[in-house]
Amino acid sequence: MTVSLRGTREVRKNCQIFHLLGQLDAFSEPTFQKVILSYVKEGANQIILDLSQIDFIDSSGLGALVRIVKAIEPIKGKLQIVTNPRVTQTVKMVRLEKFLNLRNSLDEALADIS
């Protein structure tokens, strides 16, 4: 059984917030990346990915996060990731915690919006 990635989007403080649930893996990554990058191409430069309800993230999901950061940097943007212990552990295993802006809560991420 494959659990897909589901989510909702809201706008707060001129920031796109994506609340995601499920698995960010090789199966869900292409659609996830396409959706997020479509907002970046439309000019969204403050994005928060709420991954606090993610059950699993693999190298495909991490690769998508890196590509999104690289796409948003040229437009003076910022991607922040609200994490949970499982996501944090996976990110730290590949030593991306300094590259990806990990936050412990949505409130913490919103407080960092410029």
pLDDT in tens, 7-36: 999 999 889 999 999 999 999 999 999 999
Do 7 and 37 touch, CB atoms closer than 8 A? Answer: no
State residue 22 phi and psi, 5-degree precision: 115, -135
- Predicted confidence band of residue 114 (pLDDT cuts 50, 70, 90): low
User: Within 13 Å and on the Cβ side, how many CA atoms surround 35?
Assistant: 17
Dihedral-angle region of residue 99 (phi above 0 means left; psi in -120 to 50 means alpha; beta otherwise): alpha
Cα dihedral 37, 105, 62, 1 in deg (nearest 10): -100
Q: What is the 3-state secondary structure (H, E, C) of 6-60?
A: EEEEEEECCEEEEEEEEEECCCCHHHHHHHHHHHHHCCCCEEEEEEEEEEEECHH
Q: What is the pTM of this model?
A: 0.93
For 29-46, write each residue's pLDDT tens digit: 999 999 999 999 999 999
* C-beta atoms surrounding 53 within 10 Å: 14
Residues composing the chain = 114
Q: 53 forms bridges with which residues in the sheet?
A: 21
